[in-house]
Amino acid sequence: MPLAARAPPGSESRACGETAPLGGLRPLSYLLGTMRPAAGKIVIAAAYCVAVALFLEGAARAVLSSDALFRRVAGNDEASWRLRWVKRQKTGRRIYYAFDDYHPTRGWALRPNLRDVPAFGGKTLSSNSRGLRGAREYSLVKPAGFSRIVVLGDSFTFGEDVGDDETWPRRLEELMPGTEVLNLGVHGYGHDQMLLYLREEGLKYRPDVVVVGFLPDDMERNVVAFRDYAKPRFVLRGGQLALRNVPVPSPDDVLAREPYRLKFLDLLSMLRGDLLRRSGREQEAMREITLPLLDEMSSAITAAGARAAFAYLPVYGEIDKADPGMTGREHFFFSYWRQHGIQSMYLRPYFLEKLRRGAEFKTYGHWGALEHQTVAEGVKAYLVEKGLIVNANAPRPPSHPKS
């Protein structure tokens, strides 16, 4: 009796008519069939989650790549500012303006040694060897017999839209011949960057007075680590200021990481930012970090043997507000400064006086020359009245060579 042909090994468990997969590979359906039911469900759920994640990421990238849709969802959150910066890279502007330089601690700074660079629609911009606005050089050693004021601030102090000689720190120096006024204002700075600039450079000049040009609008910059460009950010840890995002990544590093950032998370960040703004929690977060920053600035100035003075700078509708009483924002900050014994300047009356005499102020965008001149007059009057500067009419010191 002939022997029956022996079946190949492993064929016993194969269904009749089923062929072996090529190369011994098993199809997914086969693998799922041999798995325990629970394990199969896990694999299916994982595959489904991956598919959903890929779909959401693709949809988010499509939304954010459209300029029209991006403008509808973008706000003042960190992701929105970063994506705006990325889009600007098509124009070749590495930071924000052509005169900006990357700075590892503060994010960006004014490029040093500029001379009469065209800027702001026909105006010109210069900087000295240490990156201060204007061509005038200042020695770290204060001239004997003279007073010195260091000024911190944002674009209104820096002088966006005006020339070097029209900024209010420069006009203040002209009004106070016995005093040097160093303009450390930088466009786009928050109070966190001002504090770092004060520590790193401002106090090196051994000022008699440090004037902080204060705008409440800068508070929103204190709660993000990206604005005009990547920047430092302070957070509160156990009631103390803790510095984050330093060193600030370079432009090349930011661009190199961008393709790998999850745009769906960016979109969620934008929506969360809008929710926080609508609920009022954003304002709470701004105040929670801003007030300690102002306190730290005041403490650092006092510890260096100088006097701190905050100049509340009126802008937009505050300039020509007919009612001489304080706005809600003004009242909050002046009450805070008085409670903490910090010198503070209320400059709006100087604007109101000129309005009564027929002056017309710019109440949109950045100030013009008239607004800067008015601020300089008000700051001088305050400093002299309070005895913070006592030799305002002495001869003006000569410009110092580069140091």
pLDDT in tens, 239-255: 999 999 999 999 999 99
Q: What is the DSSP-derived secondary structure letter of residue 258?
A: G
Sort residue 177 into left (φ over 0), alpha (ψ -120 to 50) or beta.
alpha
Q: How many helices (H) and strands (E) does the chain have?
A: 13, 11
Bridge partners (DSSP) of residue 236 are 241
Helix, strand, or coil (residue 210): strand
Place of tokens 């993000």: 224
Closest C-alpha among 85, 391, 343, 127 to residue 230: 85
Bridge partners (DSSP) of residue 151 are 183, 211
Instruction: Reply yes or no on whether the pLDDT at 232 is more than 70.
Output: yes
How many domains does the structure of the chain reveal?
1
The pLDDT of 261-268, averaged and rounded, is: 94
Which CATH number is 300's domain given?
3.40.50.1110
Closest C-alpha among 200, 303, 187, 281 to residue 243: 200
Identify whether the C-beta of residue 392 lies closer than 8 Å to the C-beta of residue 384: yes
Instruction: Reply yes or no on whether the pLDDT at 350 is more than 90.
Output: yes
Identify whether the C-beta of residue 190 lies closer than 8 Å to the C-beta of residue 221: yes
Is residue 35 domain-resident?
no
Is residue 115 domain-resident?
yes
pLDDT in tens, 145-196: 899 999 999 999 999 999 999 999 999 999 999 999 999 999 999 999 999 9
The pLDDT of 48-65, averaged and rounded, is: 91
pLDDT of residue 121: 86
The pLDDT of 232-237, averaged and rounded, is: 97
- Which residues contact residue 232 at a Cβ distance below 8 angstroms, ignoring those fewer than 6 apart? 105, 106, 107, 192, 193, 196, 225, 243, 244, 245, 246, 248
Give this prediction's pTM.
Answer: 0.86
pLDDT of residue 91: 75
Q: Of the given ranges (37-46, 187-196, 283-292), which has the lowest mean pLDDT?
A: 37-46
Residue 395's pLDDT band (boundaries 50, 70, 90)? low
Number of Cα atoms under 13 Å in the Cβ half of residue 23: 2
pLDDT of residue 131: 97
The pLDDT of 272-292, averaged and rounded, is: 92
Place of tokens 């954010």: 64
**C-alpha Rg value of the chain to the nearest Å:** 30
- Which residues contact residue 291 at a Cβ distance below 8 angstroms, ignoring those fewer than 6 apart? 336
Number of Cα atoms under 13 Å in the Cβ half of residue 161: 14
Residue 351's pLDDT band (boundaries 50, 70, 90)? very high
Is residue 290 domain-resident?
yes
CA distance 213 to 224: 20
Bridge partners (DSSP) of residue 108 are 102
Is residue 83 domain-resident?
no
Is residue 60 domain-resident?
no
pLDDT in tens, 310-338: 999 999 988 887 777 888 899 999 999 99
Is residue 186 domain-resident?
yes
Instruction: Reply yes or no on whether the pLDDT at 199 is more than 80.
Output: yes
Mean pLDDT of the chain: 89
CA distance 142 to 397: 10
Please give the helix or strand (H or E) that residue 269 lies within, else none. Answer: helix 263-279
Is residue 95 domain-resident?
no
pLDDT of residue 1: 43
Identify whether the C-beta of residue 154 lies closer than 8 Å to the C-beta of residue 167: no
Range of the domain at 333: 101-249+279-385
Is residue 40 domain-resident?
no
